[in-house]
Amino acid sequence: MTRWQPDPDETLLARCGVSFATGVATPVSGMRWFRDTTRRDIQNELPGWPAGPEFTARTKNESRLREGGKFGARFLLVATIGVLESLAGSGSTGSVSRLGQPEEPENEVEDFPVMWAAPGTQARTLPWQLDPGRRPDTDRTHLVVTTRRILVLGLLDDENAPHDEVLWETERSDISTVKRMRFSQHKVDFKLVFTDGSWSRLAGWNTNCRDDVTRPLATTPELVADDALTSGQQRTVADLQGRQKGPGDLVISRRPSGHFLAEYLRTSTIDPDYGISSDFCLMGADGENVPFQEGDL
């Protein structure tokens, strides 16, 4: 088993299952594209990329027919078993109204680029293994965030022998912004924007995965040593560590709100789908639990 480890000069902040995102609005449901800044498809010119699925966005008529078919099936189900709640509860996952208001209709409903990159820009260097439509079903990809860099690891879907392989890495200074995208099924999508203006839309395995990797990317963590904590904070951190069942890494940071976030990364166990899970507490100056403020989590 080959397991990736951070260098001595960096601290691991997150490791979570991440892939290129997938469209959910009806015209682009189940689809994704790789575009240059003129919306030209560039997937066939990305160096070393194997052939992948070709998608065509559904027209308005096709979308109406699809929705009409789903409505008919739902109506038949309700009429047959008499469960009226089914009509409201089993709506199309691609319904714009159910997903909320698109933030970028041109990129979320009319089209769904997961790579937006002019020639020579950094988003084009991302590995093809992030694409669920290209990689084998036995493979997974994790995004790793440290205090110095971010990496994409490839591994097998086998928690006993993951065989980590570094597929891509870049310095944190190459990242301009990271943004959680609200218009996505189960709130798992986020946009990673590079300093050269190129970007990629990625999706975590679940919402926690997304939040774990976007939190340390949104703001550079201000790490705090354990001996710099107040006695109350040290007691709270000791309680956090006391409820853990296995070895791991403790990371304490001061958040933009001024609150202190203590995270216990369960680094001894790496799930191929999720990555590394964690437990945490958010505390004030005396170690007391405090309500979340924007930017805390």
pLDDT averaged over every residue in the chain: 88
Q: What does the longest C-alpha to C-alpha distance in the chain come to?
A: 66
Q: Note the pLDDT of residue 62.
A: 60
Res. 295 pLDDT band, cuts 50 70 90: confident
Q: Note the pLDDT of residue 1.
A: 61
Gap between the Cα atoms of 107 and 218, Å rounded: 22
Q: In sequence order, what DSSP letters do the residues of the chain get, joined into one string?
A: -------TT--EEEEEEEEE----SGGGTT--EEE-TT--B-GGGSTTPPP-----PPPHHHHHHHHHHHHHHHHHHHHHH--THHHHHT--TT-HHHH---S-HHHHTS--EEEE--TT-GGGGS-GGG-TTTS-TTEEEEEEEESSEEEEEEEES-TT----EEEEEEEGGGEEEEEE-SSSGGG-EEEEEETTS-EEEEEESSHHHHHHHHHHHHS--EE--GGGS-HHHHHHHHHHHHT-SS--EEEEEE-TTS-EEEEEE-TT--BTTTB--EEEEEE-TTS-B----TT--
Domain boundaries, given as residue ranges, for the chain: 12-58+95-218, 222-283
Position 83 pLDDT exceeds 60: no
User: Of the given ranges (89-93, 129-133, 146-150, 184-188), which has the lowest mean pLDDT?
Assistant: 89-93
For the stretch 270-280, pLDDT in tens is: 999 999 999 99
Q: Note the pLDDT of residue 95.
A: 53
The mean pLDDT value for 42-54 works out to 96
Instruction: Answer whether 0.85 is exceeded by the pTM.
Output: yes
Position 99 pLDDT exceeds 90: no
Q: Note the pLDDT of residue 159.
A: 84
Selection from 146, 154, 137, 200 nearest residue 173 by Cα: 146
Position 118 pLDDT exceeds 90: yes
Q: Note the pLDDT of residue 61.
A: 62
Res. 162 pLDDT band, cuts 50 70 90: confident
The mean pLDDT value for 38-58 works out to 96
Looking at the chain, the whole-number percentage of residues with pLDDT higher than 70 is 87
For the stretch 123-146, pLDDT in tens is: 999 999 999 999 999 999 999 999
Position 57 pLDDT exceeds 80: yes
Domain 12-58+95-218 CATH assignment equals 3.90.950.10? no
For the stretch 215-262, pLDDT in tens is: 999 998 999 999 999 999 999 999 999 999 989 999 999 999 999 999
Looking at the chain, the whole-number percentage of residues with pLDDT higher than 90 is 79
Position 84 pLDDT exceeds 80: no
